[in-house]
Amino acid sequence: MIITLKKNAPQEEVDRLYENFEEKGLQVNIIQGANFNVFGLVGDTSQISDRDILANEWVENVQRVSAPYKLANRMFHPEDTIVNVGGVKVGGNEKIVIIGGPCSIESKEQIVRIGKEVKDCGADMIRGGAYKPRTSPYSFQGLGYQGLLDMADAREETGLPIVSEVMSADKVDEFVENVDLVQIGARNMQNFDLLKAVGHINKPVLLKRGMSATIEDWIMSAEYIMANGNPNVIMCERGIRTFEKYTRNTMDLAVIPIIKEKTHLPIIIDPSHATGDWKLIEPMSLAAIAAGADGLIIEVHDQPECAWSDGAQSLKPEKFKQLIEKARVVAKAVGRDL
Ligand code: PEP
Ligand code: MN
Protein backbone atom coordinates (compact mmCIF):
# COMPACT_ATOMS: atom_id res chain seq x y z
CA MET A 1 0.00 0.00 0.00
CA ILE A 2 1.34 3.44 -0.93
CA ILE A 3 0.27 6.44 1.16
CA THR A 4 1.08 9.93 -0.03
CA LEU A 5 1.25 12.56 2.73
CA LYS A 6 1.05 16.29 2.19
CA LYS A 7 4.49 17.94 2.39
CA ASN A 8 3.37 20.33 5.12
CA ALA A 9 2.06 17.52 7.32
CA PRO A 10 3.22 18.23 10.90
CA GLN A 11 6.02 15.91 12.03
CA GLU A 12 3.96 14.64 15.01
CA GLU A 13 1.19 13.56 12.59
CA VAL A 14 3.72 11.76 10.39
CA ASP A 15 5.22 10.02 13.47
CA ARG A 16 1.77 9.06 14.75
CA LEU A 17 0.78 7.47 11.43
CA TYR A 18 4.15 5.71 11.21
CA GLU A 19 3.74 4.18 14.69
CA ASN A 20 0.16 3.24 13.97
CA PHE A 21 1.18 1.16 10.95
CA GLU A 22 4.14 -0.39 12.75
CA GLU A 23 1.82 -1.44 15.59
CA LYS A 24 -0.26 -3.28 12.98
CA GLY A 25 2.84 -5.34 12.14
CA LEU A 26 3.63 -3.52 8.90
CA GLN A 27 7.04 -2.42 7.69
CA VAL A 28 6.96 1.29 6.75
CA ASN A 29 9.37 2.61 4.12
CA ILE A 30 9.54 6.41 3.78
CA ILE A 31 10.39 8.27 0.60
CA GLN A 32 10.85 12.02 0.99
CA GLY A 33 9.92 13.92 -2.16
CA ALA A 34 10.01 17.60 -3.07
CA ASN A 35 6.27 18.07 -2.66
CA PHE A 36 5.08 14.98 -0.83
CA ASN A 37 6.24 12.33 1.63
CA VAL A 38 5.40 8.78 0.72
CA PHE A 39 4.91 5.76 3.00
CA GLY A 40 5.34 2.37 1.38
CA LEU A 41 3.65 -0.23 3.60
CA VAL A 42 4.94 -3.79 3.33
CA GLY A 43 3.04 -6.70 4.90
CA ASP A 44 -0.57 -7.80 5.23
CA THR A 45 -2.60 -4.65 4.61
CA SER A 46 -5.88 -6.54 4.21
CA GLN A 47 -7.14 -5.35 7.62
CA ILE A 48 -6.54 -1.69 6.72
CA SER A 49 -9.22 0.38 5.03
CA ASP A 50 -7.91 2.83 2.40
CA ARG A 51 -10.95 5.03 2.93
CA ASP A 52 -10.31 5.29 6.67
CA ILE A 53 -6.72 6.41 6.10
CA LEU A 54 -8.03 9.13 3.81
CA ALA A 55 -9.98 10.48 6.79
CA ASN A 56 -6.66 11.91 8.01
CA GLU A 57 -6.51 15.45 6.61
CA TRP A 58 -2.74 15.17 5.96
CA VAL A 59 -3.13 12.18 3.69
CA GLU A 60 -3.31 13.14 0.01
CA ASN A 61 -3.78 9.75 -1.61
CA VAL A 62 -3.85 6.00 -0.85
CA GLN A 63 -3.12 3.32 -3.41
CA ARG A 64 -3.37 -0.41 -2.99
CA VAL A 65 -0.80 -2.39 -4.89
CA SER A 66 -2.25 -5.78 -4.00
CA ALA A 67 -5.84 -7.01 -4.00
CA PRO A 68 -7.74 -7.04 -0.65
CA TYR A 69 -8.30 -10.79 -0.93
CA LYS A 70 -5.58 -13.26 0.00
CA LEU A 71 -6.98 -16.81 0.14
CA ALA A 72 -8.77 -16.54 -3.20
CA ASN A 73 -5.83 -14.74 -4.81
CA ARG A 74 -4.01 -16.58 -7.59
CA MET A 75 -0.82 -14.71 -6.62
CA PHE A 76 -0.53 -16.70 -3.37
CA HIS A 77 -1.93 -19.95 -4.77
CA PRO A 78 -0.84 -20.31 -8.39
CA GLU A 79 -2.28 -23.77 -9.00
CA ASP A 80 -5.98 -24.20 -9.88
CA THR A 81 -8.28 -25.34 -7.08
CA ILE A 82 -10.22 -28.45 -8.03
CA VAL A 83 -13.43 -28.82 -6.03
CA ASN A 84 -14.75 -32.31 -5.44
CA VAL A 85 -18.56 -32.42 -5.42
CA GLY A 86 -19.64 -35.90 -4.33
CA GLY A 87 -16.97 -37.45 -6.57
CA VAL A 88 -17.38 -35.01 -9.50
CA LYS A 89 -14.30 -32.82 -9.90
CA VAL A 90 -14.77 -29.17 -10.91
CA GLY A 91 -11.96 -26.88 -12.12
CA GLY A 92 -8.37 -27.21 -13.27
CA ASN A 93 -8.18 -29.20 -16.45
CA GLU A 94 -10.91 -31.61 -15.31
CA LYS A 95 -13.85 -32.49 -17.49
CA ILE A 96 -16.32 -29.61 -17.94
CA VAL A 97 -19.29 -30.29 -15.66
CA ILE A 98 -22.92 -29.99 -16.69
CA ILE A 99 -25.59 -29.41 -14.06
CA GLY A 100 -29.25 -29.63 -15.08
CA GLY A 101 -32.61 -29.70 -13.39
CA PRO A 102 -35.71 -27.68 -12.66
CA CYS A 103 -35.72 -24.22 -11.12
CA SER A 104 -38.01 -25.52 -8.34
CA ILE A 105 -38.56 -28.96 -6.91
CA GLU A 106 -42.31 -29.45 -7.39
CA SER A 107 -42.74 -32.99 -6.02
CA LYS A 108 -40.67 -36.08 -5.39
CA GLU A 109 -42.01 -37.61 -8.58
CA GLN A 110 -41.04 -34.49 -10.59
CA ILE A 111 -37.46 -34.16 -9.32
CA VAL A 112 -36.76 -37.89 -9.65
CA ARG A 113 -38.22 -37.92 -13.19
CA ILE A 114 -36.33 -34.83 -14.39
CA GLY A 115 -33.19 -36.00 -12.54
CA LYS A 116 -33.24 -39.22 -14.56
CA GLU A 117 -33.86 -37.29 -17.77
CA VAL A 118 -30.90 -34.93 -17.25
CA LYS A 119 -28.71 -37.91 -16.39
CA ASP A 120 -29.71 -39.63 -19.64
CA CYS A 121 -28.79 -36.45 -21.51
CA GLY A 122 -25.28 -36.56 -20.02
CA ALA A 123 -25.48 -34.27 -16.97
CA ASP A 124 -23.01 -34.73 -14.10
CA MET A 125 -25.19 -33.20 -11.34
CA ILE A 126 -28.82 -32.31 -10.66
CA ARG A 127 -30.05 -28.87 -9.61
CA GLY A 128 -33.36 -27.99 -7.94
CA GLY A 129 -34.58 -25.29 -5.57
CA ALA A 130 -36.35 -26.18 -2.31
CA TYR A 131 -36.19 -22.70 -0.76
CA LYS A 132 -36.92 -20.16 -3.48
CA PRO A 133 -35.94 -16.48 -3.42
CA ARG A 134 -38.95 -15.02 -5.26
CA THR A 135 -39.44 -11.34 -6.07
CA SER A 136 -43.11 -11.59 -5.13
CA PRO A 137 -44.26 -12.94 -1.76
CA TYR A 138 -47.30 -14.37 -3.60
CA SER A 139 -45.19 -16.58 -5.90
CA PHE A 140 -44.40 -20.21 -5.07
CA GLN A 141 -41.82 -20.17 -2.28
CA GLY A 142 -40.57 -23.76 -2.63
CA LEU A 143 -41.32 -27.01 -0.83
CA GLY A 144 -38.73 -26.28 1.85
CA TYR A 145 -37.20 -29.17 3.79
CA GLN A 146 -39.47 -31.73 2.15
CA GLY A 147 -38.07 -30.61 -1.22
CA LEU A 148 -34.54 -31.39 -0.06
CA LEU A 149 -35.62 -34.87 1.04
CA ASP A 150 -37.32 -35.41 -2.33
CA MET A 151 -34.15 -34.32 -4.11
CA ALA A 152 -32.07 -36.69 -2.01
CA ASP A 153 -34.25 -39.44 -3.51
CA ALA A 154 -33.29 -38.19 -6.98
CA ARG A 155 -29.65 -38.64 -5.97
CA GLU A 156 -30.39 -42.17 -4.75
CA GLU A 157 -32.11 -43.05 -8.01
CA THR A 158 -29.50 -41.53 -10.34
CA GLY A 159 -26.25 -41.63 -8.39
CA LEU A 160 -25.65 -37.98 -9.36
CA PRO A 161 -24.64 -35.32 -6.81
CA ILE A 162 -27.27 -32.65 -6.10
CA VAL A 163 -27.13 -28.86 -5.70
CA SER A 164 -29.68 -26.61 -4.01
CA GLU A 165 -29.84 -23.06 -2.67
CA VAL A 166 -29.70 -22.23 1.04
CA MET A 167 -31.29 -18.89 1.93
CA SER A 168 -30.59 -18.52 5.64
CA ALA A 169 -27.90 -19.46 8.13
CA ASP A 170 -30.34 -21.36 10.38
CA LYS A 171 -31.05 -23.85 7.55
CA VAL A 172 -27.42 -24.67 6.74
CA ASP A 173 -27.52 -27.97 8.72
CA GLU A 174 -30.38 -29.26 6.55
CA PHE A 175 -28.19 -28.73 3.50
CA VAL A 176 -25.08 -30.30 5.02
CA GLU A 177 -27.12 -33.45 5.65
CA ASN A 178 -28.91 -33.63 2.33
CA VAL A 179 -27.06 -31.97 -0.57
CA ASP A 180 -23.61 -32.31 -2.16
CA LEU A 181 -23.14 -28.68 -3.26
CA VAL A 182 -24.62 -25.78 -1.29
CA GLN A 183 -25.69 -22.85 -3.47
CA ILE A 184 -25.59 -19.25 -2.31
CA GLY A 185 -27.96 -17.33 -4.57
CA ALA A 186 -27.37 -13.96 -6.21
CA ARG A 187 -29.57 -12.17 -3.67
CA ASN A 188 -27.55 -13.54 -0.77
CA MET A 189 -24.07 -13.01 -2.18
CA GLN A 190 -23.43 -10.38 0.48
CA ASN A 191 -25.37 -11.99 3.31
CA PHE A 192 -22.22 -12.11 5.42
CA ASP A 193 -23.71 -14.21 8.24
CA LEU A 194 -24.73 -16.82 5.67
CA LEU A 195 -21.27 -16.70 4.05
CA LYS A 196 -19.66 -17.24 7.47
CA ALA A 197 -22.04 -20.12 8.19
CA VAL A 198 -21.16 -21.96 4.97
CA GLY A 199 -17.50 -21.19 5.71
CA HIS A 200 -17.81 -23.56 8.66
CA ILE A 201 -19.21 -26.57 6.79
CA ASN A 202 -17.40 -29.40 5.05
CA LYS A 203 -19.48 -29.27 1.87
CA PRO A 204 -18.47 -27.31 -1.26
CA VAL A 205 -20.24 -24.02 -1.98
CA LEU A 206 -21.53 -22.65 -5.29
CA LEU A 207 -21.30 -18.88 -4.98
CA LYS A 208 -23.47 -16.99 -7.45
CA ARG A 209 -22.56 -13.44 -8.41
CA GLY A 210 -24.88 -10.80 -6.98
CA MET A 211 -26.87 -9.02 -9.65
CA SER A 212 -25.17 -5.69 -8.91
CA ALA A 213 -21.86 -7.02 -7.60
CA THR A 214 -18.52 -5.93 -8.98
CA ILE A 215 -15.96 -8.64 -9.60
CA GLU A 216 -14.07 -7.54 -6.48
CA ASP A 217 -17.27 -7.65 -4.33
CA TRP A 218 -17.87 -11.19 -5.58
CA ILE A 219 -14.33 -12.38 -4.90
CA MET A 220 -14.50 -10.81 -1.42
CA SER A 221 -17.59 -12.94 -0.75
CA ALA A 222 -15.61 -16.03 -1.75
CA GLU A 223 -12.88 -14.78 0.59
CA TYR A 224 -15.44 -14.67 3.45
CA ILE A 225 -16.23 -18.35 2.96
CA MET A 226 -12.57 -19.30 2.67
CA ALA A 227 -11.48 -17.15 5.62
CA ASN A 228 -14.00 -19.03 7.76
CA GLY A 229 -12.42 -22.35 6.89
CA ASN A 230 -14.01 -23.65 3.69
CA PRO A 231 -11.64 -23.62 0.68
CA ASN A 232 -14.10 -25.38 -1.64
CA VAL A 233 -15.79 -22.53 -3.47
CA ILE A 234 -17.05 -22.60 -7.06
CA MET A 235 -17.90 -19.22 -8.61
CA CYS A 236 -21.04 -18.90 -10.75
CA GLU A 237 -21.80 -16.04 -13.13
CA ARG A 238 -25.58 -15.65 -13.57
CA GLY A 239 -25.85 -12.27 -15.28
CA ILE A 240 -25.85 -8.76 -13.88
CA ARG A 241 -28.30 -5.86 -14.00
CA THR A 242 -27.61 -3.33 -16.71
CA PHE A 243 -29.75 -0.81 -18.60
CA GLU A 244 -30.60 -3.53 -21.14
CA LYS A 245 -34.08 -4.93 -20.61
CA TYR A 246 -34.26 -7.21 -23.62
CA THR A 247 -32.70 -10.04 -21.63
CA ARG A 248 -33.50 -10.76 -17.96
CA ASN A 249 -29.89 -9.94 -17.04
CA THR A 250 -26.70 -9.24 -18.98
CA MET A 251 -24.38 -12.21 -19.09
CA ASP A 252 -20.85 -11.04 -18.33
CA LEU A 253 -18.67 -13.39 -20.35
CA ALA A 254 -15.44 -11.52 -19.64
CA VAL A 255 -15.56 -12.55 -15.98
CA ILE A 256 -14.54 -16.08 -16.95
CA PRO A 257 -10.93 -15.22 -17.90
CA ILE A 258 -10.84 -12.49 -15.24
CA ILE A 259 -11.84 -14.83 -12.38
CA LYS A 260 -9.30 -17.34 -13.67
CA GLU A 261 -6.58 -14.72 -13.75
CA LYS A 262 -7.35 -13.15 -10.35
CA THR A 263 -8.27 -16.32 -8.45
CA HIS A 264 -7.54 -20.05 -8.52
CA LEU A 265 -11.22 -21.00 -8.10
CA PRO A 266 -13.37 -22.81 -10.67
CA ILE A 267 -16.07 -20.80 -12.44
CA ILE A 268 -19.28 -22.06 -14.00
CA ILE A 269 -21.99 -20.19 -15.92
CA ASP A 270 -25.77 -20.11 -15.48
CA PRO A 271 -27.14 -19.05 -18.89
CA SER A 272 -30.75 -19.62 -17.74
CA HIS A 273 -30.79 -16.81 -15.16
CA ALA A 274 -28.30 -14.76 -17.18
CA THR A 275 -30.65 -14.49 -20.17
CA GLY A 276 -34.14 -15.48 -18.98
CA ASP A 277 -34.83 -16.97 -22.40
CA TRP A 278 -34.48 -20.65 -23.32
CA LYS A 279 -33.56 -19.74 -26.91
CA LEU A 280 -30.42 -17.95 -25.71
CA ILE A 281 -29.19 -20.78 -23.47
CA GLU A 282 -27.41 -22.77 -26.15
CA PRO A 283 -25.43 -19.95 -27.81
CA MET A 284 -24.45 -18.49 -24.44
CA SER A 285 -23.40 -21.92 -23.16
CA LEU A 286 -21.15 -22.48 -26.18
CA ALA A 287 -19.62 -19.02 -25.74
CA ALA A 288 -18.99 -19.69 -22.04
CA ILE A 289 -17.14 -22.90 -22.78
CA ALA A 290 -15.11 -21.21 -25.49
CA ALA A 291 -14.16 -18.54 -22.94
CA GLY A 292 -12.87 -21.17 -20.49
CA ALA A 293 -15.78 -21.92 -18.14
CA ASP A 294 -15.42 -25.05 -16.00
CA GLY A 295 -19.09 -25.91 -16.25
CA LEU A 296 -22.69 -24.92 -16.88
CA ILE A 297 -25.76 -24.92 -14.65
CA ILE A 298 -28.94 -24.97 -16.72
CA GLU A 299 -32.62 -25.10 -15.86
CA VAL A 300 -34.29 -28.12 -17.46
CA HIS A 301 -37.98 -28.99 -17.31
CA ASP A 302 -39.95 -31.53 -19.32
CA GLN A 303 -43.04 -29.30 -19.31
CA PRO A 304 -41.58 -25.78 -19.12
CA GLU A 305 -44.95 -24.15 -19.82
CA CYS A 306 -46.28 -25.72 -16.61
CA ALA A 307 -43.16 -25.16 -14.45
CA TRP A 308 -43.83 -23.60 -11.04
CA SER A 309 -40.99 -21.12 -11.66
CA ASP A 310 -38.68 -20.00 -14.49
CA GLY A 311 -40.24 -22.13 -17.26
CA ALA A 312 -39.33 -19.51 -19.88
CA GLN A 313 -35.63 -20.03 -19.22
CA SER A 314 -35.79 -23.82 -18.96
CA LEU A 315 -34.74 -26.21 -21.71
CA LYS A 316 -36.67 -29.34 -22.57
CA PRO A 317 -34.53 -32.45 -22.10
CA GLU A 318 -34.08 -33.05 -25.83
CA LYS A 319 -32.78 -29.48 -26.33
CA PHE A 320 -30.52 -29.94 -23.30
CA LYS A 321 -29.10 -33.07 -24.86
CA GLN A 322 -28.44 -31.31 -28.18
CA LEU A 323 -26.70 -28.50 -26.31
CA ILE A 324 -24.39 -30.96 -24.53
CA GLU A 325 -23.46 -32.55 -27.84
CA LYS A 326 -22.56 -29.17 -29.38
CA ALA A 327 -20.77 -28.07 -26.23
CA ARG A 328 -18.58 -31.17 -26.45
CA VAL A 329 -17.26 -29.99 -29.82
CA VAL A 330 -16.46 -26.50 -28.47
CA ALA A 331 -14.82 -28.02 -25.37
CA LYS A 332 -12.57 -30.09 -27.59
CA ALA A 333 -11.61 -27.02 -29.61
CA VAL A 334 -10.37 -25.33 -26.42
CA GLY A 335 -8.57 -28.42 -25.15
CA ARG A 336 -11.11 -29.63 -22.59
CA ASP A 337 -13.19 -32.77 -22.25
CA LEU A 338 -16.89 -32.78 -21.63
C1 PEP B 1 -31.67 -20.29 -8.91
O2 PEP B 1 -30.60 -20.83 -9.23
O3 PEP B 1 -32.74 -20.89 -8.89
C4 PEP B 1 -31.67 -18.85 -8.57
C5 PEP B 1 -32.67 -18.29 -7.91
O6 PEP B 1 -30.60 -18.22 -9.05
P7 PEP B 1 -30.04 -16.71 -8.80
O8 PEP B 1 -29.70 -16.65 -7.34
O9 PEP B 1 -28.86 -16.66 -9.70
O10 PEP B 1 -31.14 -15.77 -9.21
MN1 MN C 1 -34.65 -20.24 -11.42
163 lines ligand 1 (CB under 6 A): no
- Helix crossing, 317-333 with 108-121: angle to 10°? 40
133 lines ligand 1 (CB under 6 A): yes
Q: What is the predicted pLDDT for the residue at 146?
A: 98
Ligand 1, atom 4, lies closest to the CA of 185
Contact 219, 69 (CB under 8 A): yes
Q: What is the predicted pLDDT for the residue at 249?
A: 98
Q: Where are the domains of the chain?
A: 2-63, 74-333
Please state which of the four CATH numbers 3.10.129.10, 3.40.50.720, 3.40.50.11540, 3.30.70.1140 is assigned to the domain occupying 2-63. 3.30.70.1140
Burial class (CB in 10 A: 0-12, 13-18, 19+), 25: exposed
Q: What is the predicted pLDDT for the residue at 236?
A: 99
**Ligand 1, atom nearest to 209 Cα:** 9
Q: What is the predicted pLDDT for the residue at 34?
A: 81
Please determine whether the domains at 2-63 and 74-333 fall in the same fold group of CATH: no
The ligand minimizing its distance to the Cα of 183 is 1
Cα dist from 283 to 66, 115, 245, 335, whole Å: 36, 23, 19, 19
User: Phi and psi for 42 in degrees, rounded to 5?
Assistant: -120, 130
Contact 41, 28 (CB under 8 A): yes
Q: What is the predicted pLDDT for the residue at 63?
A: 92
186 lines ligand 1 (CB under 6 A): yes
Q: What is the Cα–Cα distance from 304 to 140, expressed in whole angstroms?
A: 15
Please report, for the chain, how many H helices and E strands are present, in that order. Answer: 11, 14
DSSP code for 73: B
Contact 99, 281 (CB under 8 A): no
- The CA angle 193-223-131, to the nearest 5 degrees, is 45
**Residue-level pLDDT, tens digit, the chain, 338 residues:** 999 999 889 989 889 999 999 999 999 998 888 888 899 999 888 888 888 999 999 999 999 988 889 999 999 999 999 999 999 999 999 999 999 999 999 999 999 999 999 999 999 999 999 999 999 999 999 999 999 999 999 999 999 999 999 999 999 999 999 999 999 999 999 999 999 999 999 999 999 999 999 999 999 999 999 999 999 999 999 999 999 999 999 999 999 999 999 999 999 999 999 999 999 999 999 999 999 999 999 999 999 999 999 999 999 999 999 999 999 999 999 999 99
Q: What is the predicted pLDDT for the residue at 201?
A: 98
* Residue 133 Cα to ligand 2 middle (Å): 9
248 lines ligand 1 (CB under 6 A): no
Contact 188, 133 (CB under 8 A): yes
Of 281, 302, 234, the residue nearest 97 (C-alpha): 234
CATH architecture type of domain 74-333: Alpha-Beta Barrel (3.20)
Q: What is the predicted pLDDT for the residue at 272?
A: 98
Q: What is the predicted pLDDT for the residue at 260?
A: 98
**Ligand 1, atom nearest to 127 Cα:** 2
The ligand minimizing its distance to the Cα of 308 is 2
Global confidence as pTM: 0.94
Q: Cα dihedral sign for 63, 69, 72, 78? A: positive
Cα dist from 147 to 57, 74, 108, 130, 143, whole Å: 56, 37, 7, 5, 5
